[in-house]
Amino acid sequence: MGSTSAQHTNEGLGRRDVIKRSAAIGLITVPTMGFLASCASSDSGTDKKVEKGKTSAQNPLGVNETAPLDFVLFDGGFGTEYAKDSVALFEKAYPKAKVKFSSTQKIQSELSPRFNGGTPPDLIDNSGAEQMDMGVLVGKKQLTDLTPLLDAPSIDDPAKKVRDTLRPGIVEMGQYDGDPVWIMNYAYTVYGVWYSQTALDKLDAEYPQDWDAMLALCAKAKKKNIAGWTYAGKYPYYIPFSLYPFIGKIGGREVLDAIDNLEPNAWKNPAVKSAFEAYYELFKKGYILKGTPGIDHIQSQTAWTEGKALFIPNGSWVENEAAKTTPKDFQMKVAAPSSLDSSDKLPFGTIWAGGGEPFIVPAKAANPQGGMEQLRVMLSEAASKNFTTKVKSLSAFNGGTDGLTLSTAMQSGVDALKLAGDNVLNPRLQDWYVALQKEKIGTGVLGELMAGRITPAEAVKKAQGFADEAAKDTSIKHYKHQ
């Protein structure tokens, strides 16, 4: 991928949209409903399936060792080098198999004719601004269940299944209706409150572990003309990256599950009101950077790296995305949300983390075993380390950082996950109901609340109203935590 600046080229759209999981898809509507409607009933292509190979200890998925593999990657913020390196590992294991590897930023427009014709690739990194709608793909039965991959022995330790080598939430994030796993998210993102250790050191401060300490630090910063917080005012669906785990920490993960399930009165839970009131206090006390409601993600990140604000809610792609404006001595770090107080249901360290970079094997793939085997190779320690080294992101493989020199941002992400232990939250609203999360809750509720245009009580009422509308909308597929 070359230099940092080269890596940064696609970040504005590439990396954020790569991580659609994060609700940071924004900016572009994904026009996928129509094209898949026509391919739901088509049976063409099913006769093109290659014969399965013999299963063995070395080949647990029964890959046909001479069958070609067709792999299409989204070319975004992560670039293509990590995937090419994994293809080389696949080819080493199956020297007679020819891999056709290609990359594009136009996943939907380039691949929809192939889905319609019943000849999709064997493995797709379904990401970016033209990402195909996962809910539609699952609903139209266009994907292969990846359970055989998850139950296969892992490459590094055959005594361990692939599923036992993955980070928290990865398997669940691939599920839309109970047991089948349709998606393998390859990247792993830590969401939370991002800050500069150098900026805190200058204020002789530590990261605040409860809300009183947060407010006190913001007051201290204000005296030096530094804002406590900024955020992507134009795209306020970034706010949940710290707000949702804050809600879950206060009231327990069942509060977030109820919100995801569109349950009546889920937003009226006292934990939601408490969290809204805490964030509203940042506005009322003047601790939010002036002009924040009118700036986008890049402008807010730049103001933050320039030292105009201490804290920003974001995901771990911010390190690459803000690389151009980040001073060398910035010491970028991420932390879990502060506690509200000692009555919180979950301990300090409770954080939101989950998968991004979704890989799929189409149902009509000619060589689904090959597609799954390529993913098994990518989920090895060697491939994971290579990914982390080249793109500054953790992978879904739970490990792969030993012996690597990590940046302060990445190291803090690893440390945050260690501190969280089992208290890793994974809200699904942004996967299951993109429009609700992005436009209604994000812009219509959180953006208005943080700008001081509505009160916390009004925000609760509006959020519940939007959720109730979505629950009654028969035109969208509804999902539930099992």
Amino acid at 471: A
Q: Give tens-digit pLDDT for 288-304.
A: 999 999 999 999 999 99
What DSSP element (H or E) covers 388?
Answer: helix 381-391
477: tokens are 């597929």
Q: What was the pLDDT predicted at 290?
A: 98
Nearest-10 crossing angle of helices 253-260, 270-284? 100
Question: Which residues lie below 8 Å from residue 343, measured CB to CB, with a gap of 6+?
Answer: none
Q: Say how far residue 144 (Cα) sits from the centre of its chain.
A: 21
HSE on the CB side for 392, CA within 13 Å?
24
Whether the CA torsion 457, 458, 459, 460 is positive or negative: it is positive
328: tokens are 């060398």
Measured CA to CA, the distance from residue 194 to residue 337 in angstroms comes to 10
In degrees to the nearest 10, what's the CA dihedral of 78, 79, 84, 87? Answer: 40
Measured CA to CA, the distance from residue 194 to residue 318 in angstroms comes to 9
The CATH code that applies to domain 191-353+427-472 is 3.40.190.10
Give the CATH number of domain 4-189+355-414; options: 3.40.190.10, 3.20.20.150, 3.10.129.10, 3.50.30.30. Answer: 3.40.190.10
Measured CA to CA, the distance from residue 358 to residue 214 in angstroms comes to 35
Which pTM was predicted?
0.81
Question: Which residues lie below 8 Å from residue 93, measured CB to CB, with a gap of 6+?
Answer: 58, 373, 377
The reply to whether domains 4-189+355-414 and 191-353+427-472 share a CATH topology is yes
Q: What does the domain layout of the chain look like in residue ranges? A: 4-189+355-414, 191-353+427-472
Q: What is the mean pLDDT of each run of 10 residues along the chain (482 residues)?
A: 31 36 33 43 57 94 97 89 97 96 94 94 90 84 96 97 94 86 95 98 98 98 98 95 98 98 97 98 98 96 98 91 94 98 98 94 98 98 94 91 92 95 92 87 97 98 98 90 81
Please name every residue paired with 309 in a beta bridge, in sequence order, or none if there are none: 227
Closest listed residue to residue 320, CA positions, set 342, 338, 298: 298
